[in-house]
Amino acid sequence: MNISVSTKISNPILPGFNPDPSIVRVGEDYYVATSTFEWFPGVQIHHSKDLVNWRLVSRPLCREDQLNMTGNPDSCGIWAPCLSYSDGLFYLIYTDVKRFDGIKDPHNYLTTCSTIDGDWSEPVYLNSSGFDPSLFHDEDGRKWLLNMVWDHRPNRNPFGGIFLQEFDVEKQALVGSITNIFSGTHMGLTEAPHLYKRAEYYYLLTAEGGTGYDHVMTLARSKSISGPFEVDPNGYLLTAKENPSLYLQRAGHGDIVETPEGDVYVVHLCSRPLATIRRSPMGRETSIQRADWSEDGWLRIRGGGNEPSSEWDTTLPLHPWPSSPIRNDFDTSDLPMDFQWLRTPHAHELFSLSERPGFLRLFGKESVGSLYRQALVARRQQAFSYRAETKLEFQPKSFLHMAGLINYYNAHKYHYLFVSLNDNGQRQIAIQSCQGDVSETFEFPLSDTSCDSFTNDEGAITIHSQGAIFLRCEVIDERLTYYWSEDGEVWNTIPLVLDNSIVSDEAGKGEGASFTGAFVGMCCQDLESNTVYADFDYFDYQEH
């Protein structure tokens, strides 16, 4: 006799910047696709066999014909992909948002692949009427595209409802009329549509209230795919908006999946604010909740109520994957999976793993925060406290040449420990911080501009040797401290405690409209000729 043993699991299941989850089950395998915004390659797809242990297996949008975000503003790019499976193919629907303010210019595409980690097809253009597109495969074989519509007209609700239109597989095009099937509830900001069929009903899952602390998940149903849709009389399926003390906040935008045994789970985005301040350096992450269908045909979070839980029980056999290494020595031909860069599909212009085998060579490009060619390679912060370290070989020839270790959110929010050259021709270590807003306060002197460098004679550290420099950061909640060493053994502390909460969704410029998360990594700038490079021997990331 088989006895199921319950195991207590902690949320989130995908820690660190992994928002807008779309989940699909193929046999006994589960896949979740999440947004990547301006980070390249586009879309993260994680794989699991137990809904507990996940591994990153694919970033499918890796070619210029699939994605080119050069010039895209911060927090634009890939919004809310939808992953589904039918007819022996994985279907990936995604948006490339080209403009943040006003008209979004959200271009929606479809790409397919027979395997999750294979070479995905050249994309099919769908429409540009709104974002958060998804594809529904009906029981009769027809396929339907849904997306929220962006109404740019003055004095209108910009979240103009959910559009539905048929997709013809043979023509590889949208066909027939467009129907606005759902205008949402009083919460407004209706987005993130997913459609399901169960018994006699079509169920429409949406997110509302914005992706901040008023975020909610709304379920509605209809016996017709085109509506009208009746909203669950019991209220929101999931939200944290009424309880600011919850560990998981900003719960909403998500998807539903069933196991082969018929158990139901809801994946959803959330954030984990710092205990001391309502800021979330790790951005919006992915969590999961158990759910059940009620006797009257509505989905309910298991345990009662509609709040997200920081823990859940599973009876599925656990299937762990090997842990990611703490150290990456850059001794492979491809960039390690944990790392990404910004916007451009032309990676060879920014970095190389073959120019000097065993090193990541970054070719100095534009300034930190550039929307075009920025030589910055980084990985997600996935815990409140961690340590990162790298070994840098760099010979700047001017103060216009910089390379080092960066804690980065976007063009307006970062801390940067770098090596450069002073006016006496000596290498020096300095810190550049961009606080996101002129009202922010730092514990070291800055001018009254929002971005400035701690590079005056009193602050910068002169390096008398010409050898490699080791750089380290230590993050403990909202506190960031930098260190440097000439031999990797004896470490010197830079006597500044920086505010790491600035590197978050809610801080500074873009508050309420920042959608990514904190990264830590390496970068190099040549603001003179774009010819100087920096070599990084390794990169360590270890959580506390």
Contacts 24+ apart (CB under 8 A), 254-259: 254/21, 254/192, 254/205, 254/207, 254/217, 255/21, 255/22, 255/23, 255/194, 255/205, 256/23, 256/194, 256/196, 256/205, 256/291, 256/299, 257/23, 257/24, 257/25, 257/30, 258/25, 259/25, 259/51, 259/316
**One digit per residue, pLDDT tens: the chain, 544 residues?**
334 457 889 999 999 999 999 999 999 999 999 999 999 999 999 999 999 999 999 999 999 999 999 999 999 999 999 999 999 999 999 999 999 888 899 999 999 999 999 999 999 999 999 999 999 999 999 999 999 999 999 989 999 999 999 999 999 999 999 999 999 999 999 999 999 999 999 999 999 999 999 999 999 999 999 999 999 999 999 999 999 999 999 999 999 999 999 999 999 999 999 999 999 999 999 999 999 999 999 999 999 999 999 999 888 889 999 999 999 999 999 999 999 999 999 999 999 999 999 999 999 999 999 999 999 999 999 999 999 999 999 999 999 999 999 999 999 999 999 999 999 999 999 999 988 753 343 333 333 334 444 444 456 899 988 999 999 999 999 999 999 999 999 999 999 999 999 999 999 765 556 899 999 999 999 999 989 999 999 999 999 9
- Residues acting as catalytic residues: 20, 191
Question: Does 364 lie in the same domain as 231?
Answer: no
Q: Do the Cβ atoms of 289 and 265 come closer than 8 Å?
A: yes
Report yes or no on 8 lying in a domain.
no
User: Quick one: 341 and 291 in the same domain?
Assistant: no
CATH code of residue 523: 2.60.120.200
Q: Which residue has the tokens 């929220």?
A: 148
Report yes or no: 204 and 162 within 8 Å, Cβ to Cβ. Answer: yes
- The domain of 183 spans 20-314
Residue 300's pLDDT is 97
- Where residue 302 sits, what CATH number does that domain have? 2.115.10.20
Answer yes or no: do 510 and 410 share one domain.
yes
Same domain, 285 and 351: no
Who contacts 36 (Cβ-Cβ below 8 Å, separation ≥6)? 42, 43, 44, 59, 77, 78, 340
Q: What pairing do the DSSP bridges indicate for beta strands 413-421 and 77-86?
A: unpaired
At residue 415, what are phi and psi to the nearest 5 degrees?
Answer: -125, 140
How many structural domains compose the chain? Answer: 2
Phi, psi of 347 (to 5 degrees): -60, -30
Is 451 inside any structural domain?
yes
Q: Which residue is associated with the tokens 């066999």?
A: 49
SS3 content of the chain, % helix, strand, coil (to 5): 0, 45, 50
The reply to whether 294 and 340 lie within a common domain is no
Same domain for 331 and 273? no
On whether both 390 and 286 belong to a single domain, the answer is: no
**281 and 151 co-located in one domain:** yes
Within this chain, do residues 309 and 435 fall inside the same structural domain, yes or no?
no
Residue 37 DSSP code? B
**320 lies in some domain:** no
Task: Examine residue 137 and state whether it is found in any structural domain, yes or no.
Answer: yes
4 located within any domain: no
Domain termination site, one of 314, 342, 366: 314
State phi, psi for 300 to the nearest 5 degrees.
-130, 140
d(CA 482, CA 469): 13
Say if residue 263 is in the same domain as residue 389: no
Tell me if 166 is assigned to some domain: yes
Among 314, 335, 370, the domain-final residue is 314
Asked if the structure places residue 7 within a domain, the reply is no
Q: What is the Cα 212 distance to its own chain's centre?
A: 15
**Residue that is last in its domain, among 293, 314, 335:** 314
pLDDT at 510: 52
* 372 lies in the same domain as 449: yes
The DSSP-derived string for 335-386 is --TTEEEES-S-GGGTEESSSSTTSEEEEPBS-TT-SS--EEEEEE--SSEE
Q: Same domain for 296 and 348? A: no
Domain membership flag for residue 230: yes
